[in-house]
Amino acid sequence: MRIDLSSTTALVTGSTSGIGFAIAQGLAAAGADVVVNGRSAERVAEAVERLRSEHPDATISGVDADIASDEGTARLLERVPAVDVLVNNLGIFGEAPALEISDEEWRRYFDTNVMTAVRLIRHYLPGMIEKGWGRVLDIASDSALVIPAEMIHYGVSKTALLAVSRGFAKAAAGTGVTVNSVIAGPTHTGGVEDFVYQLVSKDLDWDEAQREFMRLHRPQSLLQRLIEPVEIANLVVYLASPLASATTGGAVRVDGGYVDSIVP
């Protein structure tokens, strides 16, 4: 199966590290011109340089902008007015007792995890529809379906993102543009390592800590390990390609069997 994304421009938000960076790597390897996004100019420059060194034939650029703010969104849209593939990867997460999450924190999670995607889709989707081809991919989470007791604000925001994807897929019906969400399972990233050590003993080495975390907090995982970012990226690259032309309005799982369901 050959995936060719040459002559396409792909924007990946929150892509200086972790899942977002792995997605940017995968899209660049498939031939797309990739735009990296993050809040820090230094980290964006580092990510761009690394991608250029790994994929010297690819066109890689970056925009440092905090798209959780109106000003940051305006800066990104000015620099990147149109794309063929939009990957809404930006998201925040963290542990908090349910009864202690403030209104301000609820709003911060909704603004970052949901409204950033809404604003970018609203801007880029009309151009895709006009061209008759495009891909919108919203990176959701198993937490959208299995709300974690330790971070319900995160889970609720990702549930909302599933609805955002489905709704905009209906807005693009019959146009050649597809809109999907990707339900990522527990994934091995730097941020997740920190999160794991919040929940298990810091005296454990990483392999032991990972096993203990999965045993105590994610026992329903059929994979029984954390997913590597490249495994998420592989699905995203496929969904971004012409090969996935009949998949739209979906919530496609790459969760290691974590969600105990036989349907998406």
**Other CB atoms within 10 A of residue 16 CB:** 23
CB atoms within 10 A of CB 205: 7
Mean pLDDT of the chain: 96
Q: What is the pLDDT of residue 246?
A: 98
pLDDT, tens only, 243-256 = 999 999 999 999 99
Task: Give per-residue pLDDT as tens, 73-119.
Answer: 999 999 999 999 999 999 999 999 999 999 999 999 999 999 999 99
pLDDT given at position 177: 98
Q: Tell me the per-residue pLDDT of 34-79, one tens digit each, with 9 for 90 and over.
A: 999 999 999 999 999 999 999 999 999 999 999 999 999 999 999 9
**109, 124, 154, 258: the active-site residue:** 154
Domain ranges of the chain: 9-187+230-254, 193-226
For residue 7, the one-letter residue type is S
pLDDT given for residue 190 in this prediction: 80
Q: CATH number of 9-187+230-254: 3.30.565.10, 1.10.390.10, 3.40.50.720, 3.40.50.2030?
A: 3.40.50.720
- The answer to whether 185 touches 223, Cβ cutoff 8 Å, is yes
Confidence at residue 264, expressed as pLDDT on a 0 to 100 scale: 72
Q: In what order do the strands lie in the sheet with 33-38?
A: 60-64, 33-38, 9-12, 85-88, 134-141, 177-184, 251-254
Is 154 annotated in the active site?
yes
| % of the chain with per-residue pLDDT over 90 | 91
What pLDDT is stored for residue 191 in this prediction? 75
Q: What is the pTM of this model?
A: 0.94
Q: How confident is the model at residue 222 (pLDDT cuts 50, 70, 90)?
A: very high
